[in-house]
Amino acid sequence: MDYFPLFCRLQGKRCLLVGGGDVAERKARLLLAAGADLHVGALHFSPAFRQWADNGELSLIVGAFDAAWLDACWLVVAATDNDAVNQQVAEAAEARRIFCNLVDAPEQASAIMPSVIDRSPLLVAVSSGGCAPVLARLLREKLESILPQHLGQLASLAGTLRARVKQRFASAAQRRYFWERFFTSDRLAQTLANGDSARAEQITASLFSDDLPAQGVVTLVGAGPGDAGLLTLKGLQQIQQADVILYDRLVSEEVLNLVRRDAERIFVGKRAGHHCVPQAEINQLLLEQAQRGKRVVRLKGGDPFIFGRGGEELEMLAQHQIPFSVVPGVTAASGCSAYSGIPLTHRDHAQSVRLVTGHLQQEKVLEWQKLAAEQQTLVFYMGLSQAPHIQRQLMQHGMRADMPVALVENGTSTQQRVVTGTLDRLGELARQVASPSLIIIGSVVSLRDRLRWF
């Protein structure tokens, strides 16, 4: 993040604008709208500045820039058509630790002015860090078209209700639930848009009188294999609404960055050969948090129902009559194969796919003879440490030694790495990658050189 986004209260605070032309006019309008005590210094001023000054809306300082103009200022904007003067203003502001915005020189500015969507008191700011102001403007225009004008009224009404909500609802979770219903009430929004304040009060009163659920809920959400872009829309909605997030090590940092910032995060990850939190303890955490009335999301890498032990967790919740739901995710087999240029099925190579756990404690249920059959693709999850055993068993049961294999490390992430070879070298290849890695075995792997896109 190149800039820290911050909304500043400038009402009654002295601000300096250096420049008196067209560009400075645009900056002046924003500062005046924010209620700043605006002082404008320049050799010459446009008619607009003269008019503002005559109306008592701002003060003019006639002359060449003087560092003394900065005295008692909270913010400075340099908007002249002279780069040397703008630089002089920036240096003087920097020496006094005053934030300074420079027109057309974002790399030298300590502050930037974003494009603003004004639904006061609701404000939305869009910034490209000065790199692409036209793009920021286009985005602002798009947001303008989809954000209703009555949002400001809704936000203002909410401001008058905060003390009442805090008194009515004891817990933060209940208050959050109330506000979500308040802001998503179509009836309330329409009533405000129509200017019917009496009806708006009736609808608001009904929201206060409705009972809120005393018991929490649990949602299992598949986070996908790594790339945050593969998170489903419903998954995003759930993690934005959650009070508590239980997540494992396969959930990428990019996905975690989408979690609501005030949500409690509990790491329950497991690493190969070392179980950080036993499954029974994870189950108990889910139960306890839900019984406290929390909305709990169990965020799992990949898909909760494909080697994610989601079924075990839901069985426990069902036993205790805790409401639950499941949001599927893109499983590692689909994500890693697609990002590696390896189709899981292909008319000429594989007519079926088998997803197999590499935890070979379940050895007795693995039918190696069927796994070694032709015209199919095998995908081994969590099989890195067992790669030599997988190689040996498949070859002993008839799979050819030169069958193409691929190992995908950190699949779909920016650190993805793919190692390819043949089955008779699988154990050796496994030593070249780190966990988490997925093993894909089948003739479809031979298509990678033609189909991969990065």
Residues classed as catalytic: 248, 270
Report the alpha-carbon distance of residue 197 to residue 397 in Å, rounded: 77
Instruction: Establish whether 23 is an annotated binding residue.
Output: yes
The residues near 75 (Cβ < 8 Å, ≥ 6 apart) are 8, 10, 13, 15, 16, 31, 36, 98, 99, 100, 101, 111
Phi and psi at 324, nearest 5°, equal -150, 165
Report the alpha-carbon distance of residue 177 to residue 359 in Å, rounded: 41
Instruction: Establish whether 262 is an annotated binding residue.
Output: no
Apex 435 CA angle, 441 and 311, nearest 5: 80
Report the alpha-carbon distance of residue 235 to residue 328 in Å, rounded: 8
Instruction: Establish whether 411 is an annotated binding residue.
Output: yes
Report the alpha-carbon distance of residue 241 to residue 367 in Å, rounded: 43
Instruction: Establish whether 121 is an annotated binding residue.
Output: no
Instruction: Establish whether 306 is an annotated binding residue.
Output: yes
Report the alpha-carbon distance of residue 158 to residue 156 in Å, rounded: 5
Report the alpha-carbon distance of residue 9 to residue 2 in Å, rounded: 22
Owner of token pair 């494992």: 248
Instruction: Establish whether 43 is an annotated binding residue.
Output: yes
Instruction: Establish whether 302 is an annotated binding residue.
Output: yes
Q: Kindly state the tokens that stand for 37.
A: 């005590």
Report the alpha-carbon distance of residue 262 to residue 247 in Å, rounded: 15
Instruction: Establish whether 61 is an annotated binding residue.
Output: no
Residue 436 preceded by cis peptide, ω within 30: yes
Report the alpha-carbon distance of residue 185 to residue 208 in Å, rounded: 13
Find out whether 436 and 250 touch, Cβ atoms under 8 Å: yes
Instruction: Establish whether 301 is an annotated binding residue.
Output: yes
Q: Are strands 115-119 and 274-275 parallel, antiparallel or unpaired?
A: unpaired
Find out whether 37 and 104 touch, Cβ atoms under 8 Å: no
Q: Is 224 helix (H, G, I), strand (E, B) or coil?
A: strand
Is 47 exposed, middle or buried, given 0-12, 13-18 or 19+ CB atoms closer than 10 A?
exposed
Count CA atoms closer than 13 A to 175's CA, side-chain side.
13
Instruction: Establish whether 360 is an annotated binding residue.
Output: no
Instruction: Establish whether 225 is an annotated binding residue.
Output: yes
Report the alpha-carbon distance of residue 251 to residue 328 in Å, rounded: 14
Instruction: Establish whether 331 is an annotated binding residue.
Output: yes
Find out whether 246 and 299 touch, Cβ atoms under 8 Å: yes
Instruction: Establish whether 359 is an annotated binding residue.
Output: no
Q: Which residues are annotated as a binding site for NAD(+)?
A: 22-23, 43-44
Binding region: 22-23, 43-44, 225, 301-303, 306, 331-332, 382, 411
Which residue ranges make up the annotated binding site for S-adenosyl-L-methionine?
Answer: 225, 301-303, 306, 331-332, 382, 411
